[in-house]
């Protein structure tokens, strides 16, 4: 039997979550006591389909695209990790600002997303079939990302997109897969609306 860590020890993750949301700084995406990871445009090399628009934007500056404040209360099987993501609004060419995207290293690990502010989408690609779908991510909307699914979060709005992702502590993040193959589809803006298209260079 596991050593008892004192009264209420099992409530710690819940208290951490309350703390996470109550100390959230909407200007920076920071949360006290959470590790903040920031991704700038230069970190997303190879992600955007329009390579010349990417180079042109990077030649001007290297803006922050998104940040994740991660809370990792424990790392045993059964524990949960959660991250507060914040993607800034913007586009490279016609493609919206987005995360690098990943599959979980433990392929069967699912994830629960919950929208807190702004407007966006989750791009979901089934690793077995390649089937792709986009699912809206808005305040108070929950999105279930099944296991064996590569996922990328996209800000389609004019405000920061803020969301919570909750996943097994053992999930791990595989970025290599995306760096090698990328997603088969992209999401671009047409007449002010998001549109899902096959990645142009994957048509060749």
Residues at the interface with ligand F6R (CB under 6 A): 68, 83, 85, 99-102, 111, 151, 153, 165, 167, 171, 173
Distance CA(155)–CA(129), nearest Å, equals 26
Distance CA(27)–CA(108), nearest Å, equals 35
With CB under 5 A as the contact rule, which of the stretches 26-34, 81-89, 109-117, 177-185 interacts with Zn ion?
109-117
Residue 111 engages Zn ion in binding (rule: CB under 5 A): yes
Minimum distance between the CB of residue 151 and Zn ion, rounded to whole angstroms?
Answer: 6
Q: Rounded to 5 degrees, what angle do the CA atoms 46, 52, 55 make?
A: 70
Residue 95 engages Zn ion in binding (rule: CB under 5 A): no
Instruction: Write each residue from 20 to 39 as x if it is in contact with Zn ion (CB under 5 A), else as -, in one continuous string.
Output: --------------------
With CB under 5 A as the contact rule, which of the stretches 108-116, 121-129, 133-141, 179-187 interacts with Zn ion?
108-116
Minimum distance between the CB of residue 52 and ligand F6R, rounded to whole angstroms?
Answer: 24
Burial classification of residue 132, based on how many CB atoms lie within 10 Å of its CB (0-12 exposed, 13-18 middle, 19 or more buried): middle
Minimum distance between the CB of residue 147 and Zn ion, rounded to whole angstroms?
Answer: 11
Nearer to Zn ion, 111 or 125 (CB): 111
Distance CA(37)–CA(100), nearest Å, equals 13
Minimum distance between the CB of residue 41 and ligand F6R, rounded to whole angstroms?
Answer: 13
Helix (H) or strand (E) holding 59: helix 51-60
The encoded tokens of residue 125 equal 């690609």
Minimum distance between the CB of residue 101 and Zn ion, rounded to whole angstroms?
Answer: 9
Distance CA(106)–CA(103), nearest Å, equals 8
Minimum distance between the CB of residue 77 and ligand F6R, rounded to whole angstroms?
Answer: 16
Distance CA(115)–CA(92), nearest Å, equals 23
Burial classification of residue 47, based on how many CB atoms lie within 10 Å of its CB (0-12 exposed, 13-18 middle, 19 or more buried): buried
Nearer to ligand F6R, 99 or 188 (CB): 99
Nearer to ligand F6R, 1 or 170 (CB): 170
With CB under 5 A as the contact rule, which of the stretches 8-16, 28-36, 107-115, 175-183 interacts with Zn ion?
107-115
Distance CA(169)–CA(166), nearest Å, equals 9
* Interface ranges with Zn ion (CB under 5 A): 111
């Amino acid at each position: 039997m596991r050593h008892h860590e004192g009264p209420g020890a099992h409530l710690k993750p819940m208290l951490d979550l309350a703390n996470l949301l109550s100390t959230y700084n909407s200007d920076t995406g920071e949360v006290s006591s959470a590790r903040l990871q920031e991704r700038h445009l230069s970190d997303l090399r190879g992600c955007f389909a329009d390579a010349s628009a990417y180079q042109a934007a990077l030649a001007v500056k290297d803006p922050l695209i998104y940040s994740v404040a991660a809370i990792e209360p424990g790392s045993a099987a059964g524990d949960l990790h959660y991250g507060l993501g914040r993607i800034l609004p913007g586009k490279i060419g016609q493609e919206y600002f987005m995360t690098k995207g990943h599959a979980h290293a433990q392929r069967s690990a699912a994830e629960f997303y919950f929208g807190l502010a702004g407007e966006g989408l989750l791009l979901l690609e089934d690793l077995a079939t390649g089937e792709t779908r986009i699912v809206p991510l808005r305040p108070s909307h929950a999105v279930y990302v099944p296991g064996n699914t590569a996922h990328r979060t996209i800000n389609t709005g004019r405000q920061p997109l803020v969301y919570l992702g909750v996943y097994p502590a053992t999930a791990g993040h595989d970025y290599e897969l995306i760096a090698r193959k990328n997603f088969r589809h992209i999401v671009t803006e047409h007449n002010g609306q998001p549109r899902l298209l096959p990645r142009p260079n994957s048509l060749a």
